[in-house]
Amino acid sequence: MVIRRINMNRLRSRIILSIGVLVVLFSMVLLHRTHVLMAAHVEILLKRKLELALEFELAIRQYIYDEVQPRMFAMLPEDEFIPEIMSSSYVARRVLERVQSVRSDVVVKFSAKNPRNPLNLAGPEELEMIAWFNEDTNRDYWYGTVTVEGREYSALFHAMRMTESCLRCHGDPADAPKKLVERYGAEASFHLPLGRAVGMDTLMAPLDISKAMIAKDSVSHFSVVFAGIICLFAGIVLVLRFSVTDRRLAAHALQVSEARYRLIFENAPIGIFHYDEKGVVIACNRYFADIIGVSVQDLIGFDTYGRLKNPEVLKAMTESLAGCPGRFEGEYTSILSGRTTFVNTVFVPFAEADGTIKGGIGVVEEIRERVKAEQDLQRSREHLRNLSRHLLSTREQEQKRIARDIHDDLGQTLSAVKMEVSWLKNRIPKEQVKEQAKAGAALELLDGAIDSVRRIIAELRPALLTDLGLAAAMQWQAEKITERSGISCVVDIDPGRMNIYDDKATVIFRIFSEAVNNAVNHSGASEIQARLVCSKGGDIELTVTDNGAGITEAQAMRSDAYGIMGMRERVASYGGDLEISGTPGRGTVLVARIPSG
């Protein structure tokens, strides 16, 4: 046994040593691979930075060409030229000098054969590169590694070729602005041929800094990966050691979760029940049992498809077993207890991890009190509607009585007084001019009073509405409006179906009168149109439109808009609705609908 144990220890040591050698070899390969990838990555980033810097410089130049130069040439005298603003090379160089002052290790410059600025004079190596660009007109860029004063750089060169837009300042001096020639002379950077590379942009970044970054990042990455490998082996050991403990903890957490779910399930203030894919109840809480009116034990195993008779409930449950939530709201009578109540039930599908529907969950809310409150509210509204109708009818009857009393009493009295005054006037001698004028004035006042009495009687209760019906009364009202205000008022009525009498006819006439008077008094309209339609079923629709200023929503909803409020009350008393809409400058549309019955 001792020898066997020694052999096992030796085998274990050899295995560990072999694993260690493999780890070292893998780490060396990984270090080399990391270094290569980092170098390539840094090279790509460095090139991209140089390209971005070049794009930035070219964007500055293009902006000067496209935006600044045209505007400055238009603003300045013909021969004026300000290089500090109008020269693309000058502006770009000044901007990049500021960049280079911050990043002194980066080289950014513009080189030319015959520059106007001596600082831009190309050296021998740069002249060779310009000549290389001119060997082939398709050569515009060169990227690679160069050595300058013993230091390696990653360099990007871009050829600057003469284009048509450059000829004004770099072609014939006679065509150039005089101020430009006076400042730089007639030789510097003139007579440049089209298409030729006359200079180039130079952008260089030192490689020694990048190599240091690569070495540092490679070691850093390798250290992280190597540490990760060590942690991986250690983690495997720990996982194997603590897997049993984790399973025990998971089982305990599951028990706690189950206990919490059961606590919520049993004490929820709404009914909850579970059913399987066949519709059989497999669990429910006490609240659901109370809604149904039986015990929890009576509901377990209940076959909904086999015993339920409510088709809407079965439809909602079927939808949940098909994968879509279902809902039922309404009156429900339990076949187990006979209890009737109102419920709002949502059926939600319950699926396995692979999506297979294994049943569903029903959430039931008893809404009996809410339904009772809604019914009470509906009855209250109906009582208010009947009361409003009664009050309106009473008011119309009272107006009718007042109109009759005014006609029979005040009207006849005024007529008698007029006859007496007329008799007196006829007996006053004509030479008594003053007395004749007084009597005539009295007769005029009496005529005005009689007209006022007639108008008041007509407004209180138009005789045409009682004698000839709604259509004639509306036509008479429209004619009076036109006669009194000069505004065209046209009424369109279908007489074939217009069998509206009594209180409903009065409501329609009052709404029409109020709408027309509002248009006359407030809209500034020149034309009013009204249309009265009665359907075969007896539904009435009155539409009044005008071409005035157009009512706003705020005006229609004002608390002191008593006329509109009265129209709404009259329509609501018969279960109808009133819509008022306006378009600024185009008029107002009023639509009153009263259902049959």
DSSP 8-state code for residue 165? G
> Which pLDDT belongs to residue 16?
66
Using DSSP, state whether 194 is helix, strand or coil.
coil
The strand pair at 527-534 and 488-493 is best described as parallel
Cβ-proximal residues to 312 (8 Å cutoff; 6+ apart), any chain? 328, 330
pLDDT, one tens digit per residue, over 420-447 is 777 877 788 878 878 888 877 887 887 7
Q: Which amino acid is at 328?
A: F
For every residue of 538-580, DSSP letters joined together read --EEEEEEE-SS---HHHHT-TT-HHHHHHHHHHHTTT-EEEE
Strand segments (E) across 211-267:
none
pLDDT, one tens digit per residue, over 292-312 is 888 889 889 998 888 888 889
Structure tokens, 79: 């021969």
Residue 461 near residue 476 (C-beta atoms within 8 A): no
The span from the CA of 55 to the CA of 49, in Å, is 10
DSSP 8-state code for residue 192? P
> Which pLDDT belongs to residue 469?
76
> Which pLDDT belongs to residue 2?
40
Structure tokens, 373: 């409150």
Residues 38-62: b if buried by 16+ CB within 10 A, e if exposed: bbeebeeebeeebeebbeebeebbe
Radius of gyration of the chain (CA): 50
> Which pLDDT belongs to residue 544?
92
Which residues sit opposite 274 in a β-bridge? Answer: 283, 361
Cβ-proximal residues to 305 (8 Å cutoff; 6+ apart), any chain? 278, 279, 314
The span from the CA of 225 to the CA of 205, in Å, is 30
> Which pLDDT belongs to residue 207?
75
The strand pair at 357-366 and 540-546 is best described as unpaired
Averages of pLDDT over runs of 10 residues in the chain (597 residues) are 50 67 70 67 72 74 75 75 71 72 71 71 78 82 79 80 69 67 66 73 75 58 64 56 62 80 81 90 89 88 86 90 90 87 91 86 87 80 66 65 69 74 80 81 80 70 66 84 88 69 78 88 88 80 89 83 83 86 89 82
> Which pLDDT belongs to residue 457?
65
